[in-house]
Amino acid sequence: MTVQQPNSFRTGPDERGHFGIYGGRFVAETLMPNILQLEAAYTAAKADPGFQKEMDHHLTHFVGRPSPLYFAERLTTKLGGAKIYFKREDLNHTGAHKVNNVTGQIMLAMRMGKKRIIAETGAGMHGVATATLCAKFGLDCIVYMGAVDVERQQPNVLRMKMLGAEVRAVTSGSHTLKDAMNEALRDWVTNVSDTFYCIGTVAGPHPYPAMVRDFQCIIGKETREQMQAAEGRLPDSLVACIGGGSNAMGLFHPFLDDRSVEIYGVEAAGHGIPSGKHAASVAGGRPGVLHGNRTYLLMDADGQITEAHSISAGLDYPGIGPEHSWLNDMGRVKFLSATDDEAVAAFQLCSQLEGIIPALEPAHALARVFDLAPKLPKDHLMVVNMSGRGDKDLASVEAYLASKKK
C-alpha cells in the first residue's frame, strides 16, 4: 500500500479529535457536556506554565523521574546485533509508565474540582497508579477491573486496597479490560457531576487519546536527551508493546518526524493470530467504533466485538488507540505481534540475563527484539520501552510454565 504521507506526523488530532478517519467522540449525550468540559479544562491547563511546573515537581519527587536509559549489555551480547537500551519505566514509583499519565489527569481533576475518581484497569498497574495518586491527594478512588483480571493480578488488587481504593470486579461480558471500561463508562454516565474518569491508555473519546499521549510523551523526550548524552545521536529504532498503546505512544511520538528512526509496536498474539485467540487489533481486526472512538477492533462479521486473548492482562483488549491506527495506515509505525509462549520465554530470559523481571506486557516487545536485533549491525541503537516491572506476573508465569510441563 502506498499512501501520501503528511509533512508532519505530530499535528493530530484535528479539533474534533480525528486522526485521519480514526478517533472522534462516540459517546452518549449524557457524557458529551463532560467531555467538552474536560477538553476545555485540559486546553487551559496545557497553556498554564503553573500546571506544567506542578506536574514536573510531582514527577521528579513522587514518581522519581527521569527514569534511566539503561544499556542492556548481556542481552546485546547474547543477541549479537543491535545495541539494546531499555527505557526503565519499571523504575517509576508504582512500577510502570501508567503513573505519568495518572499524575497529569489527577492534577487536572483537582483543577476541575472533581473529588471522585474512577478508572478501569487490566493488569492493575493503571489502577495502582490511580489509587496511589488518589491516596496522595485525598480523593475517592473506584477501580473497575474484570473478574478474570482480579484473579490473575492479585498482587495489584491487594495494593489498590491497601491504598484505600475500592476495587469493583466486573462480571459482565468477557470479564476483562473492555468490560471494565464499559462499567467505568456506565459509572460516569450515572455520576457525571462529581466524577472524573481517569482513562489509562491512549483510547476513549477525544480528548483522551491526545491528552494521555501528551502526559506520556515524557518517556520519548527523556529518551531523546539520554540517547544524545550516551551516544551523541538519535536511536535507530524503537520497540514497545501495545495494549491500548500509551507506553508506545509516549516513546514514539517525540520521534515520529525523525524519519531515520524505525518504529515498531508489538501486539499480543495470544495463542497465535491464526488461532483467532489473540489481542492483535491491527493484525487481526478492522476499523470500527467502540469506547468513544473509531479504531482497529477485533469483531465478527456483524460488528459484534470479540473477546481478546492474551496471557498479559494489560494487553488483553480488543482495540488500540486511534492515533496508532492512523500511524499504521500511514506506514509510519510497523505493527508486529508476539505470542504468549514467546512473551513468557522473553520474560524468563530478561530476568536471568539482565536481572530485571519485566512485566508480561513489555516481555512481548522483548520477544520481537530477539529476532529484530540479531539481524542488525552492532552500531544500530535500539530502544525498548521497559514499561513495567513483573512482580505482579510471577504467579501467572509460574502457572503457565507448570501447565506447559504437563
Partner 1 sequence: MTTRIDRRFAALKAEGRAALVTFTMAGDPDYDTALAIAKALPKAGADVIELGMPFTDPMADGPAIQAAGLRALAAGQNMIKTLKLVREFRVSDNDTPIVLMGYYNPIYIYGVEKFLTDAIAAGVDGLIVVDLPPEEDEELCLPALKAGLNFIRLATPTTDDKRLPAVLNNTSGFVYYVSITGITGAAAPDATKVSAAVDRIKRHTKLPVAVGFGVRSAEQARAIAENADGVVVGSAIVDVLRGSLDKSGKAGSGTVKAVTDLVSALAEGVKSARRVPAK
Ligand X SMILES: Cc1ncc(COP(=O)(O)O)c(C=O)c1O
Residues with catalytic roles: 98, 120, 387
Residue 84 φ/ψ, nearest 5 degrees: -105, 125
By the rule CB under 6 A, 235 interacts with ligand X: no
Are 289 and 261 in contact, with CB atoms under 8 Å apart?
A: no
Which of 4, 8, 190, 403 contacts partner 1 by CB under 8 A? 190
Site string for partner 1, 100-139 (x = CB under 8 A): ----------------------------------------
Residue 253 φ/ψ, nearest 5 degrees: -55, -45
* Residue 388 binds: one of partner 1, ligand X, none (C-beta under 5 to 8 A by kind): ligand X
H or E stretch at 262: strand 262-270
Instruction: Collect all residues with Cβ–Cβ distance below 8 Å to 213 and sequence separation of at least 6.
Output: 202, 246, 249, 250, 253, 321, 323
**Smallest Cα–Cα separation from 362: which of 385, 335, 345, 336?**
385
Q: Which of residues 69-108 bind ligand X (CB under 6 A)?
A: 96
By the rule CB under 6 A, 314 interacts with ligand X: yes
Core vs surface per residue 175-212: b (16+ CB within 10 A) or e: bbbbbbbbbbbebbeeeeeebbbbbbbbbbbbbbbbbb
* Residue 122 binds: one of partner 1, ligand X, none (C-beta under 5 to 8 A by kind): ligand X
By the rule CB under 6 A, 210 interacts with ligand X: no
By the rule CB under 8 A, 147 interacts with partner 1: no
> Which strands sit side by side in the sheet containing 237-241, from one edge to the other?
69-71, 83-88, 381-386, 237-241, 262-270, 334-339
Are 209 and 25 in contact, with CB atoms under 8 Å apart?
A: no
Which of 157, 210, 238, 241 contacts ligand X by CB under 6 A? 241
Q: How many residues bind ligand X (CB under 6 A)?
A: 21
Instruction: Collect all residues with Cβ–Cβ distance below 8 Å to 200 and sequence separation of at least 6.
Output: 98, 101, 102, 119, 120, 121, 122, 126, 127, 129, 130, 212, 244, 246
Q: How many residues bind partner 1 (CB under 8 A)?
A: 36
- In the complex, the smallest distance separating the C-beta of residue 328 from ligand X, rounded to whole angstroms, is 14
Our measurement of the distance from residue 362's CA atom to the centroid of its chain's CA atoms, rounded to an integer in Å, reads: 10
By the rule CB under 6 A, 245 interacts with ligand X: yes
For residue 405, what is its C-alpha cell? 510441563
* Residue 288 binds: one of ligand X, partner 1, none (C-beta under 5 to 8 A by kind): partner 1
- In the complex, the smallest distance separating the C-beta of residue 304 from partner 1, rounded to whole angstroms, is 5
* Residue 176 binds: one of ligand X, partner 1, none (C-beta under 5 to 8 A by kind): none
By the rule CB under 8 A, 228 interacts with partner 1: no
- In the complex, the smallest distance separating the C-beta of residue 396 from ligand X, rounded to whole angstroms, is 13
Q: Which of residues 124-163 bind ligand X (CB under 6 A)?
A: 125-126
Q: Output DSSP code: residue 388.
A: B
Are 315 and 364 in contact, with CB atoms under 8 Å apart?
A: yes
Give whole-number Cα distances, 350 to 33, 53, 384, in Å.
Answer: 47, 36, 12
Which residue's CB is nearer to partner 1, number 164 or number 287? 287
Q: Which of residues 354-383 bind ligand X (CB under 6 A)?
A: 359, 361-362
Which of 123, 145, 184, 185 contacts ligand X by CB under 6 A? 123
For residue 150, what is its C-alpha cell? 482480579
* Residue 359 binds: one of ligand X, partner 1, none (C-beta under 5 to 8 A by kind): ligand X
Strands 292-297, 195-197: parallel, antiparallel or unpaired by DSSP? unpaired
Which residue's CB is nearer to partner 1, number 192 or number 230? 192
Q: Which of residues 279-318 bind partner 1 (CB under 8 A)?
A: 288-292, 297, 299, 301-305
Which of 105, 247, 325, 337 contacts ligand X by CB under 6 A? 247
**Smallest Cα–Cα separation from 333: which of 241, 398, 401, 402?**
241
Which residue's CB is nearer to ligand X, number 365 or number 373? 365
- In the complex, the smallest distance separating the C-beta of residue 268 from ligand X, rounded to whole angstroms, is 9
By the rule CB under 8 A, 16 interacts with partner 1: yes
For residue 21, what is its C-alpha cell? 478517519
Which residue's CB is nearer to partner 1, number 98 or number 291? 291
Strand, coil or helix: 334:
strand
By the rule CB under 6 A, 243 interacts with ligand X: yes
Residues in touch with partner 1 (CB under 8 A): 16, 24-34, 172-173, 178-179, 182, 185-186, 189-193, 288-292, 297, 299, 301-305
Residues in touch with ligand X (CB under 6 A): 96, 122-123, 125-126, 201, 241-248, 314-315, 359, 361-362, 387-388
